[in-house]
């Protein structure tokens, strides 16, 4: 029932930066999702082979597209809860090698009903879901999550793209979770001294990484706009999923 409910909501998701689900169901006691075929590589694969920190424009455009895909997801309403480079696919489109497709809504949570009221959690309270380097403080504490939890993760990814490291790194998973909850993210200049980041860009990322979700951006749309303001492109070259923020 849970799989069918979440798959049905995810299949309604229509956005250029979100992988489209064509069908879902069960056959021979096996659950399945039929999704669009992607040709390209994951963001993780890109990060593993690059020898330098990603250029600012490319990094911010990737992060903005992830946020824009979340605009549509949160409208459905879905929280992804496990955004990470492995779940971000880069394909070539419109002359760009950084067109984003966000996928794997397999653990996504339906978080509001049709009347806009919160839906009872589909997971056991206290259960940790996510990937530790990319988990929000509330996820680390096993608390209920909302759309702003996804925005924290976008902040983690943007930080990683611009420094080559996630804000918190530790081989001890329990300590890593505590760092998300308690520690401020290191200044980006201290992590990547050879690649200074403009203070206005770092301020956006730090707001997304706020421990208190009330201090983060209020919506994925607000975060996407903030990121795009730092990389103002011409609308003729803007990727389809982002044109709505700038007009025709």
Q: Say if residues 21 and 13 touch (Cβ distance below 8 Å).
A: yes
DSSP string, 198-240: -HHHHHHHHHHT-SSGGGS-SSHHHHHHHHHHTS---TTTS-G
- Catalytic annotation present for 82: yes
What are residue 34's DSSP bridge partners?
Answer: 23
Question: For 52-172, where are the alpha helices, taking DSSP H only?
Answer: 56-75, 137-140, 147-163
Q: Give yes or no for a cis peptide into 77 (omega within 30° of 0).
A: yes
Number of alpha helices (DSSP H) and beta strands (DSSP E) in the chain: 9, 7
Q: Say if residues 84 and 131 touch (Cβ distance below 8 Å).
A: yes
Among candidate residues 72, 70, 6, 15, the one with its CA nearest the CA of residue 33: 6
Check residue 244 and give its pLDDT. 52
Q: Which tens digit of pLDDT belongs to each residue from 86-122? A: 999 999 876 667 899 998 765 556 565 433 333 333 3
**pLDDT tier at 123 (50, 70, 90 boundaries)?**
very low
Q: Domain 40-233: give its CATH code.
A: 1.10.510.10
More confident: 242 or 192: 192
End-to-end Cα spacing for the chain: 42
Marked catalytic residue, from 82, 104, 146, 150: 82
Euclidean distance between CA atoms 90 and 75, whole angstroms:
23
Q: Which tens digit of pLDDT belongs to each residue from 51-77? A: 889 999 999 999 999 999 999 999 988
Domain boundaries along the sequence of the chain: 40-233
| Cα 153 to Cα 29, 106, 234, distances in angstroms | 34, 17, 28
The residue-averaged pLDDT of 74-84 equals 89
DSSP 242: G
The residue-averaged pLDDT of 19-27 equals 86
């Amino acid at each position: 029932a849970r799989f069918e409910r979440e798959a049905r909501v995810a299949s309604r998701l229509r956005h250029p930066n979100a992988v489209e689900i064509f069908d879902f169901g069960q056959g021979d006691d096996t659950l399945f999702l039929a999704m669009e075929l992607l040709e390209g590589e994951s963001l993780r694969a890109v990060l593993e082979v690059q020898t330098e920190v990603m250029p600012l424009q490319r990094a911010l455009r990737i992060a903005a597209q992830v946020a824009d895909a979340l605009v549509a997801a949160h409208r459905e309403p879905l929280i992804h809860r496990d955004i990470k480079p492995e779940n971000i696919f880069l394909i070539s489109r419109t002359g760009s090698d950084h067109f984003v497709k966000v996928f794997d809504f397999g653990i996504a949570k339906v978080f509001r009903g049709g009347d806009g009221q919160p839906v009872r959690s589909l997971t056991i309270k206290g259960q940790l879901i996510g990937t530790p380097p990319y988990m929000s403080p509330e996820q680390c504490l096993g608390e209920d999550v909302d759309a702003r939890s996804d925005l924290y993760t976008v902040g983690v990814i943007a930080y990683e793209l611009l420094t080559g490291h996630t804000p918190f790194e530790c081989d001890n998973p329990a300590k890593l979770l505590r760092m998300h909850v308690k520690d401020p993210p290191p200044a980006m200049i201290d992590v990547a001294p050879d690649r200074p980041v403009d203070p206005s860009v770092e301020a956006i990322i730090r707001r997304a990484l706020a421990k208190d979700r009330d201090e983060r951006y209020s919506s994925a749309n607000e975060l996407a706009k903030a990121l795009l303001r730092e990389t103002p492109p011409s609308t003729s070259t803007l990727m389809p999923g982002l044109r709505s923020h700038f007009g025709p």
